[in-house]
Structure 1
Amino acid sequence: MLLLTPLSELNILCSYNLRDSTWSAMRNTVIPLYQPARLARLIPVMQSYVDALVANIAGCPDQDCIPFCQLSLRMAIDIIGKTAFGVEFGLSKNSAADRCCGSETHGGEGDDDVREFLKEYKRSMEFIKMDLSSSLSTILGLFLPCAQTPCRRLLRRVPGTADCKMDENERRLCRRIDAIIAGRRRDRAARRRGGDGDGDGDAAARSAPLDFIAALLDAMENGGKDFALEDRHVRALAYEHLIAGTKTTAFTLSSVVYLVSCHPRVEEKLLRELDGFAPPRGRAPTADELQSRFPYLDQVIKEAMRFHLVSPLIARQTSERVEIGGYVLPKGACVWLAPGVLARDAAQFPEPEEFRPERFAAEAEEERARHPYAHIPFGVGPRACIGHKFALQQVKLAVVELYRRYVFRHSPAMESPIQFDFDLVLAFRHGVKLRAIRRE
């Protein structure tokens, strides 16, 4: 039985319905993509889009009303485009007027295929809902999870239903991802033909593409004994990067800047730490520097993720009969965890409504006394988010560069109190609107 999910069956081969040894073998295939050395090589790519984000802010015609959520989403989509697909989506590098016009899904290179791909991605995100405005099969699944899959399989055959529209859109998106995979395979073949006999293996390795699809194609060719990677798995993994690595990253970055901008003491302390890092102008922090030079930034990000948890629910399925808190759960039961409830538990986080990053300081008594599972923004256990270091690297690079140039305040157009949409991924209902103040 599948867990309740608003995602199409076409694209959940990797994270949802693989089990036991098959799932372990798949995960072991993917883990090397997130090794520190590989993530470090992605920093120049990420930094180029962070720089574009800063340029977009500078180019906004109204510096008192920066549409920060939209600009950060453009950055996150472009980073995934380049690092997962090896494709330049071009959202971050449009004209200044377009950067701030509010449309985040029109590719910037004049490429019709890219534009259509992004439109289908946007529609996919619109289908990912977990409330009474979602498809009938998802609504039914909220109350009777075991009925979702048969209901979806029936309704996707009925023209005009949300399930049918989602299925049609997902099939179009799958075809476009398949075309990208085929293109990456052709690029690899051409590169090999052009490199035959040059004898410079190190140069070839340095020039090899860094995107995940290229790496997965390598893994496919070097296939292990435990798991035969196929195109459908490559497609599903690429899709997961697109869905899981864009709005989540943009939301987290927006949440950090939103919260820092209304807590002057936190901002002052963060600026002192960032100003103490002074590399040559134009050089991004290295992976080691991101890891070791910014302890307070780490605390700020953790506290922002506690305050506004991007994943309101985590779903798991019991692999055997188990007793939890006096309740006996049969094998195959769907279990929902609400990390946001844990994150507001006063027993674990005294004064939980206060934004206080110092609660995560390694030397803090509160940190030492806290249960290790009280704060799990990326999940917990072997099925925790495998890409969390990839996401945090983007957020850290962006915060370092943004606060080199600017400080931020809430725009007069910013709503108060802030409102959220609670779907599979938390979202600011009307975005985050900020006033950008250039630093001297």
Structure 2
Amino acid sequence: MLFTIALIAAVLALAYHFYIKIFFYWERKGVPCEKPLPVIGNMKGIGSKYHFRNINQQIYDQFKGKSSFAGMYMFFRRTAMITDLDLIKQVMIKDFNYFQDRGAFNNPRDDPLTGHLFALEGDEWRSMRHKLSPVFTSGKMKQMTGVIVDVGHRLANTMDKLVKVSKVDDGNVEIKDLCARFTTDVIGSCAFGLECDSLQDPNAEFRQKGREIFTKRRYPQSVQAFVFTNPKLAKLLRMKILPDEITKFFMSAVKNTVDYRLKNGIKRNDFIDQLIQLRAEDQEAAKSGKGIDLSKGLTLEQMAAQSFVFFVAGFETSSSTMSFCLYELAMQPDIQQRVRDEIENVLAEVEGGELNYDSLAKMSYLDQVVAETLRKHPLLPHLIRECNREYKVPNTDIVLDKGVNALIPVHNIHHDPEIYPDPEKFDPSRFDPEEVKARHPMAYLPFGDGPRNCIGLRFGKVQAKVGLVSLLRRFKFTASNRTEVPLILSKKAFLLGTENGMYLRVEKI
């Protein structure tokens, strides 16, 4: 009996010590912070009542201007929300060597598709980034644009069919799903060399799996949030994030494509080809579980992980950008017509009027419209950088310890009225060259910045613009009886998305 009481007392004492050590961290440092709750920290209501952007907004509004950063707790994770743009520049660029890693969940041993470039850390990330960078040069983008334009023609033809059917429903077309089918076919072709046929068949296998990545969860929302905010602990517990059937599908798709190409000597100069060139026949370090040694190339699991993240990042982000852009253009027909006029004027000077990489680069107003879309609707609520050793915060006496997260609240910065007056207004003139020059460079971060910015940003922008040009040349978009004003945003998905799809009236020009 006495032993049991002593054991309970010891457990309670340890729990109390852990609680004090974690949840009084910022108070001990003298950093302003919002009072946390046990276990969940400042994550109360995440995924049900609030999204990350809502929780971040509370802290951003409370402490911005009072300190260059504020403390918060993402469950057990000590996190410094940076509200000062100069300090953001320090963290992301000047002092990058202190904040190289994203602190994202990765567990390649148990969940092989999580061992991708976005989540890799340290030397593994550096080596992989170096090896993959040649895939995303402007020269490679130029080569891929022809493939993307071909899929753009199929997008317009599919929209034509949907418009005919939609006449019985006030011309309503669900925009987001169609855009996702377009980007799925683009990525399928550019990354996997496969014809996914999503535009022809909305239930095509690649489209279904792409949808399931964001709708089919392994755990309840609260557990998912815990994994994302406490990745090292989750990895220690050998947790996975992806459902097994999704892992099996992508592993099989990559293996079959690689085997077929090697057997038949096929080369397409696409993403899979680049990975095949990087792979060696044997990699003892990876086999023995000693981590990722890229000096001899890639294992099949690593190839699948890179292909997976290219697919996920490429189809979801670009399709969301396209759909939010079309929504804003439907709300402001004058801006929509100006974009359409620019498209026609530029393509009138091209032989055959065919879109290509060079003509796309001349569409400066379209570029401003896409930039303003990403300003108002940034796909990530925030960026995370993990402190890899003690870091003295400039102009303070405060030292951040190893393992502390630095959080850059992208959505909240993009909606700060002191930076962007009337932030809910869609106004492409914010990206007139003189306006951009006058603004702090860290005030606009849809793709991050510094050495760890989005490697595929050039591909994503080209893909989204080709899709928009293909649609705006042939169709007019307006609000319908099913268009939400304002849009109801999902609280469950980490990436920005709508709760009920996105419906617009579409008419053939």
TM-score normalised by structure 2 residue count:
0.70
Is residue 382 of structure 1 aligned with residue 458 of structure 2?
no
Q: Which amino acid aligns with 1:260?
A: L
> CA-to-partner distance for each residue in 1:94-118, whole Å, 9 max, x for gaps?
3xxxxxxxxx4x22xxxxxxx3x55
- Corresponding residue number in structure 1 for 2:191: 84
Q: Which amino acid aligns with 2:255?
A: A
Q: Which amino acid aligns with 2:321?
A: T
Displacement of 1:225: 8.2
236, 243, 258: which one aligns with 1:150: 236
> CA-to-partner distance for each residue in 1:180-234, whole Å, 9 max, x for gaps?
3xx3343244237xxxxxxxxxxxxxxx313211121123359998563222221
The answer on whether the counterparts of 1:174 and 1:235 sit within 8 Å (CA) in structure 2 is yes
- Corresponding residue number in structure 1 for 2:506: 436
Displacement of 1:145: 5.2
Task: Show the 5 A alignment for 1:91-102.
Answer: 91-94=198-201
The answer on whether the counterparts of 2:152 and 2:467 sit within 8 Å (CA) in structure 1 is yes
- How far, CA to CA, are the matches of 1:147 and 1:19 in structure 2? 16
Q: Secondary structure at the match of 1:246?
A: helix
Displacement of 1:90: 0.7
Q: 1:142 to 1:241 in 2, by over 3 A?
A: closer
- How far, CA to CA, are the matches of 2:111 and 2:384 in structure 1? 16
The answer on whether the counterparts of 1:343 and 1:375 sit within 8 Å (CA) in structure 2 is yes
175, 180, 187: which one aligns with 2:251: 175
Is residue 402 of structure 1 aligned with residue 471 of structure 2?
yes
Displacement of 1:404: 1.3
Aligned residues: 388
Is residue 316 of structure 1 aligned with residue 423 of structure 2?
no
- Corresponding residue number in structure 2 for 1:38: 140
Larger Rg computed on CA atoms? 2
- Corresponding residue number in structure 1 for 2:121: 19
Displacement of 1:438: 2.1
Displacement of 1:73: 0.5
Is residue 134 of structure 1 aligned with residue 221 of structure 2?
yes
Q: Which amino acid aligns with 2:355?
A: P
Q: Secondary structure at the match of 2:497?
A: strand
Q: Which amino acid aligns with 1:59?
A: K
The answer on whether the counterparts of 2:379 and 2:496 sit within 8 Å (CA) in structure 1 is yes
> CA-to-partner distance for each residue in 1:265-287, whole Å, 9 max, x for gaps?
32232222122121568653221
The answer on whether the counterparts of 2:181 and 2:207 sit within 8 Å (CA) in structure 1 is no
Task: Show the 5 A alignment for 1:168-317.
Answer: 168-180=244-256, 183-191=257-265, 208-220=267-279, 226=295, 228-277=297-346, 278=348, 283-291=353-361, 293-317=362-386
Q: Secondary structure at the match of 1:233?
A: helix
341, 344, 350: which one aligns with 2:412: 341
Is residue 122 of structure 1 aligned with residue 122 of structure 2?
no
The answer on whether the counterparts of 1:72 and 1:253 sit within 8 Å (CA) in structure 2 is yes
The answer on whether the counterparts of 1:185 and 1:217 sit within 8 Å (CA) in structure 2 is no
Q: Secondary structure at the match of 1:310?
A: coil
- Corresponding residue number in structure 1 for 2:166: 62
- Corresponding residue number in structure 1 for 2:90: none
- How far, CA to CA, are the matches of 2:231 and 2:160 in structure 1? 48
Q: Secondary structure at the match of 1:147?
A: helix
Displacement of 1:319: 2.2
- Corresponding residue number in structure 2 for 1:425: 495
- Corresponding residue number in structure 1 for 2:62: none
Q: 1:286 to 1:12 in 2, by over 3 A?
A: same
Displacement of 1:140: 3.1
The answer on whether the counterparts of 2:104 and 2:119 sit within 8 Å (CA) in structure 1 is no
- How far, CA to CA, are the matches of 2:392 and 2:403 in structure 1? 13
Q: 1:275 to 1:6 in 2, by over 3 A?
A: same
The answer on whether the counterparts of 1:4 and 1:148 sit within 8 Å (CA) in structure 2 is no
Q: Secondary structure at the match of 1:276?
A: helix
Identity score, percent? 23
- How far, CA to CA, are the matches of 1:421 and 1:303 in structure 2? 21
Q: 1:173 to 1:374 in 2, by over 3 A?
A: same
95, 98, 103: which one aligns with 1:3: 103
Q: Secondary structure at the match of 2:490?
A: strand
TM-score normalised by structure 1 residue count:
0.80
The answer on whether the counterparts of 1:321 and 1:331 sit within 8 Å (CA) in structure 2 is yes
- How far, CA to CA, are the matches of 2:123 and 2:454 in structure 1? 18
Task: Report the RMSD for the aligned CA atoms in angstroms.
Answer: 2.8
- How far, CA to CA, are the matches of 2:363 and 2:234 in structure 1? 45
- How far, CA to CA, are the matches of 2:190 and 2:431 in structure 1? 31
Displacement of 1:85: 0.8
- Corresponding residue number in structure 1 for 2:178: 71
Displacement of 1:334: 2.4
The answer on whether the counterparts of 1:124 and 1:169 sit within 8 Å (CA) in structure 2 is no
Displacement of 1:125: 2.1
- How far, CA to CA, are the matches of 2:350 and 2:430 in structure 1? 33
Displacement of 1:347: 2.5
Q: 1:141 to 1:209 in 2, by over 3 A?
A: closer
- How far, CA to CA, are the matches of 2:490 and 2:261 in structure 1? 41
Displacement of 1:53: 1.3
Q: Secondary structure at the match of 1:336?
A: strand
Q: Which amino acid aligns with 1:309?
A: P
- Corresponding residue number in structure 1 for 2:442: 373
Q: Secondary structure at the match of 1:315?
A: strand
Q: 1:433 to 1:15 in 2, by over 3 A?
A: same
The answer on whether the counterparts of 1:317 and 1:332 sit within 8 Å (CA) in structure 2 is yes
Q: Secondary structure at the match of 1:408?
A: strand
- How far, CA to CA, are the matches of 1:428 and 1:40 in structure 2? 32
Displacement of 1:405: 1.0
> CA-to-partner distance for each residue in 1:89-146, whole Å, 9 max, x for gaps?
111123xxxxxxxxx4x22xxxxxxx3x5544433222469xx95262x343467555
